[in-house]
Amino acid sequence: MTYSQAVLNGERLALSRLLTQVENDALEGRAALIELFPHTGKAHLIGVTGSPGTGKSSLVNQLALHYRKTAQKRVAIIAVDPSSPFTGGAVLGDRVRMRDLSGDTGVFIRSMATRGSLGGLAQSTANMAQVFDAAGYEIIIIETVGAGQSEVDVARLAHTTLVVEAPGLGDDIQAIKAGILEIADILVVNKSDRPGVENTEKALKSMLDLAHPAERIFQHHGTAMRTSYDQTSGGPASKQDSSSAPIWIPPIQRTISTEGKGIAELAEAIARHVAHLTHSGGWAVRERARLEVELDALIQETLVSRFREQVSQSQYEDALTKMIQRKMSPWEAVKLLMNGG
């Protein structure tokens, strides 16, 4: 029996092994992804990002518990940890804060390292989400490393993006300065029992009032993707014609994840966002944009691989040496190598 068939049959051991194959970009993993792709497209992908120390892992833990207890939904968690730039290793310690989920067969937690990729998301995260989707997990939560501005990658992958902030981190608008406020569908002020929560929430509200755009425009490889907002539900819903779409302003939800407070209200806000995306047509547009980004990335990877096969290492090194000696510009080197050296 192939990995893909075993995963479709609900075998957890096969799922675990396939995830390893996918993360390592093995041939077996690629073959399984091809077989599983027709079975994908049903899961709700939730991205959770924010500054380090805001309690993202504890929040994910409580959110998964809520979905299991109230809706009996199968939940998969992909916890992305940063890799060391020196050793290449990663702690992969997020599951330490998710011990409440241990023993539940309806929950699958997978930690993975960024392996140097930018944006807080490893290259294989999207593929791993597809495997969970095909395996029948209805909710897939992707917790990222909280790297800052490059966290826009999670907005391209997830249907709903939660940006988590916490008071007492030295700056009430840390998330805004990091540039990740703009990708939020829902703003979460976690650890709201701490002093200064009112100031944090006030700062976030004032920035939302200042921004308050009727629509945002995401650039996908030069193509503008317009995103409208709905004030009643709280997040962006992309439509090609957004003039008639209701405006969505990200709601601000207080939580205390260590005590489970505010989690039910957060889940309700997420449900409203899903309803908004479905009603406005934003779900289909986001899915198209997500697959477009994935397709472009695969095309780029394939073209680079073919280029490496056609150009010898000596030709490449010779061009690089001439660049170092300033005898050839990078543009001239590319033109030379693309023409066969």
pLDDT digits (tens, 9 = 90+) for 95-137: 455 566 667 789 999 988 765 555 445 568 889 999 999 999 9
Least confident of 12-21, 107-116, 213-222: 213-222
Closest of 41, 63, 59 to residue 51, by C-alpha: 59
| Residue 294 banded pLDDT, cuts 50, 70, 90 | confident
> Starting from the edge strand earliest in sequence, which strands make up the sheet with 44-50, in order?
107-113, 75-81, 139-143, 44-50, 160-165, 186-189, 252-254
Measured CA to CA, the distance from residue 266 to residue 260 in angstroms comes to 11
- Greater model confidence, 96 or 338: 338
Measured CA to CA, the distance from residue 149 to residue 283 in angstroms comes to 24
- Across the chain, where does the E strand assignment appear? 44-50, 75-81, 107-113, 139-143, 160-165, 186-189, 215-220, 223-229, 236-238, 252-254
Compute the chain's Rg from CA coordinates. 22
Mean pLDDT across 209-235:
47
- Which two tokens mark 239? 């439509």
Taking 50 as the threshold, does the pLDDT of residue 83 lie above it? no
| Residue 224 banded pLDDT, cuts 50, 70, 90 | very low
Question: Cβ neighbours of residue 329 under 8 Å, at least 6 residues apart?
Answer: 323
CATH match for 40-282 among 3.30.310.80, 3.20.20.150, 3.40.50.300, 3.40.50.720:
3.40.50.300
Measured CA to CA, the distance from residue 203 to residue 219 in angstroms comes to 27
Taking 90 as the threshold, does the pLDDT of residue 304 lie above it? no
- Bridge partners (DSSP) of residue 112 are 80
Which pLDDT score, from 0 to 100, does residue 339 have? 85
Taking 50 as the threshold, does the pLDDT of residue 315 lie above it? yes
Taking 60 as the threshold, does the pLDDT of residue 260 lie above it? yes
Helix, strand, or coil (residue 180): coil
Mean pLDDT across 161-189:
73
- Which two tokens mark 147? 């790297």
| Residue 219 banded pLDDT, cuts 50, 70, 90 | very low
Interior/surface letters 68-78, b for 16+ CB within 10 angstroms, e for the rest: beeeebbbbbb
- Bridge partners (DSSP) of residue 20 are none
